[in-house]
């Protein structure tokens, strides 16, 4: 059980959405939310406050009569539940709910506590509101996507429940839940914020960390396969650069390869003084995709860590408008809903994951091209050359998917298009950035799945199973449980999918 209280770390956030931890709301939060609600109810009398007694966006110049205030909130939710495209997957929706719940728990939004309680029940009972990928421009936050969340909280719209897409009303009856009743500004407070792009962002970071770990392990395995020298990941070499990411990647490589019998020391081979050849038979230095792993994955690691920090700050921040300040007895109007922080970080994340994918594709090509590696048959073909094809077919898929990632890595952050009668004259496109980053991450898992199958085939061809590190041996055994060593040609797509699922879920 996780309790929402003063501050939610990204590790706690991930444990809730990936570990299926149930959540509880602390008394501190409930008191803070109650105090904010009561203050706004009193303070809003005889004052003009955006979204309480005014229209929205460029319609804010129009006063709303007291008797219409509550209906105004329902109108806002229903009119903006206008998303299209594919539904967001359940884990991203759960993350969005948690992000919204956490920011509303700060007591800067003036919502009724019933909002917090019902979102808690959605998380604990695995009720997934229907939210679509398309619709948000990320300026007044995720207006459209969050409207679909709000729609279900008022008992309307649709949800996914026990594997079925069903009307919210039916599920509420089954679960004995009641919709919220709008009191002051619950509609605006629910939809004005960055919680969808932030929630998807946390999911993206979770999988990005997995990809980084896998890429590092695969890089180590290929260095073993070619019996590389150890100096390119040595502490001495990498400590001559000050970048923390590079140093950490090199350290992790040393740890992963500590018990390998295949990695060589340069002093045992090229520094003995016994080399007399004019043309050296063995490589003096490895190709960049093997030798420059700390320099390539170091920036990936640091970027993921920086993105995590920004996301943690965002879901622990008040990101709607206006901001209710109980301490100073005031209501402030501004733009905390603007998603530029998340948009930029998602663009950074997809760029580094694309670079990771490019590294995997080049390493794959190295293994498949016998003229480059000089130790493996073409396409790591364990059958009859010319008659069988080995990994030739799946290389096309890896290359194609890598190219798609390169195209998708163009930034959304600089693609602002004014809208909303030019009230939103510069926008973040943050949710688009987060959704596209998720696609880049999924593509990366596909390329790495193909690379891993090739690695284990190469280990079998070279009969190195007894010499590889324990880390590589664990991956080898896991993959061989999915796809045994093969010489004859076979349909590959089911195996690629199974290995991809293994990489994602382990």
Query: Are the C-beta atoms of residues 453 and 397 closer than 8 Å to each other?
Result: no
DSSP-derived letter for residue 193 is B
194 contacts: CB under 8 Å, gap ≥ 6? 99, 138, 141, 142, 314, 319, 337, 338, 339, 341, 342, 430
Closest C-alpha to 413, from 397, 433, 440, 399: 433
CA 113-115-120 angle, 5° bins:
100
- Cα dihedral 73, 74, 80, 83 sign: positive
Residues tagged active-site: 50
Query: Which region, left, alpha or beta, applies to residue 12 given φ > 0 means left and ψ of -120 to 50 means alpha?
Result: alpha
Angle between helices 340-368 and 392-408 (to 10 degrees): 160
User: What's the Cα-to-Cα distance from 475 to each of 96, 157, 200, 218, 449, rounded to whole Å?
Assistant: 33, 44, 28, 9, 11
CA distances from 393 to 381, 396, 410, 493 (A): 11, 6, 28, 10
Residue 4's DSSP bridge partners are: 25
CA-based end-to-end distance of the chain: 23
Q: What's the Cα-to-Cα distance from 45 to each of 8, 39, 48, 214, 460, rounded to whole Å?
A: 34, 11, 9, 58, 77
Buried/exposed code over 379-388 (b: 16+ C-beta within 10 A; e: otherwise)? bbbbeeeeeb
Dump the DSSP string for 358-379: HHHHHHHHHHH-HHHHSSS-GG
Find tokens 């195996």 and name the residue. 495
CA 448 to chain centre: 17
């Amino acid at each position: 059980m996780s309790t929402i209280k003063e501050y939610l770390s990204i590790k706690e956030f991930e444990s809730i959405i990936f570990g299926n931890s149930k959540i509880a709301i602390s008394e501190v939060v409930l008191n803070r939310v109650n105090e904010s609600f009561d203050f706004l109810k009193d303070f809003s009398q005889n004052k003009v406050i955006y979204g309480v007694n005014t229209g929205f966006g460029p319609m804010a110049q129009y006063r709303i009569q007291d008797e219409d205030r509550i209906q105004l909130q329902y109108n806002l939710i229903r009119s903006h539940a206008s998303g299209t495209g594919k539904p967001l997957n359940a884990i991203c929706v759960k993350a969005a709910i948690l992000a919204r719940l956490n920011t509303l728990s700060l007591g800067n939004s003036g919502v009724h506590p019933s909002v917090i309680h019902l979102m808690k029940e959605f998380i604990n009972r695995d009720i997934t509101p229907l939210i679509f990928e398309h619709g948000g421009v990320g300026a007044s936050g995720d207006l459209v996507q969050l409207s679909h969340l709000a729609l279900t909280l008022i008992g309307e719209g649709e949800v996914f429940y026990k594997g079925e897409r069903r009307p919210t009303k039916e599920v509420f009856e089954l679960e004995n839940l009641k919709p919220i009743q709008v009191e002051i500004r619950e509609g605006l407070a629910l939809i004005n914020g960055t919680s969808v792009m932030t929630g998807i962002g946390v999911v993206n970071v979770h999988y990005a960390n997995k990809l980084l770990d896998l890429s590092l392990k695969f890089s180590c395995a290929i260095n073993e396969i070619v019996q590389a020298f150890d100096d390119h990941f040595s502490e001495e070499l990498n400590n001559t650069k000050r970048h923390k990411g590079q140093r950490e990647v090199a350290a992790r490589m040393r740890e992963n390869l500590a018990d390998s019998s295949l990695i060589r020391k340069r002093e045992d081979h090229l520094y003995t003084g016994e080399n007399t050849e004019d043309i050296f038979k063995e490589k003096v230095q490895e190709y960049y995709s093997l030798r420059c792993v700390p320099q390539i994955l170091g920036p990936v690691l640091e970027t993921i860590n920086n993105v995590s920090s920004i996301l943690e700050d965002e879901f622990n921040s008040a990101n709607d408008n206006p901001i209710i300040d109980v301490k100073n007895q005031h209501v402030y109007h501004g733009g905390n809903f603007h998603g530029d922080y998340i948009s930029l970080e998602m663009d950074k994340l997809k760029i580094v994951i694309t670079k990771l994918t490019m590294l995997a594709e080049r390493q794959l090509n190295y293994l498949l091209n016998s003229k480059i590696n000089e130790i493996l048959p073409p396409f790591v073909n364990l059958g009859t050359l010319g008659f069988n094809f080995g990994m030739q077919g799946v290389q096309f898929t890896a290359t194609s998917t890598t190219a798609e990632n390169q195209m998708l890595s163009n930034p959304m952050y600089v693609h602002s298009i004014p809208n909303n009668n030019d009230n939103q004259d510069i926008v973040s496109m943050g949710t688009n950035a987060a959704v596209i980053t998720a696609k880049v991450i999924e593509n990366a898992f596909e390329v790495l799945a193909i690379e891993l199958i090739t690695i284990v085939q190469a280990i079998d061809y070279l009969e190195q199973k007894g010499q590889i590190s324990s880390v590589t041996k664990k991956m080898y055994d896991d993959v061989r449980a999915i796809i045994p060593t093969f010489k004859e040609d076979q349909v590959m797509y089911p195996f690629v999918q199974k290995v991809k699922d293994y990489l994602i879920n382990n």
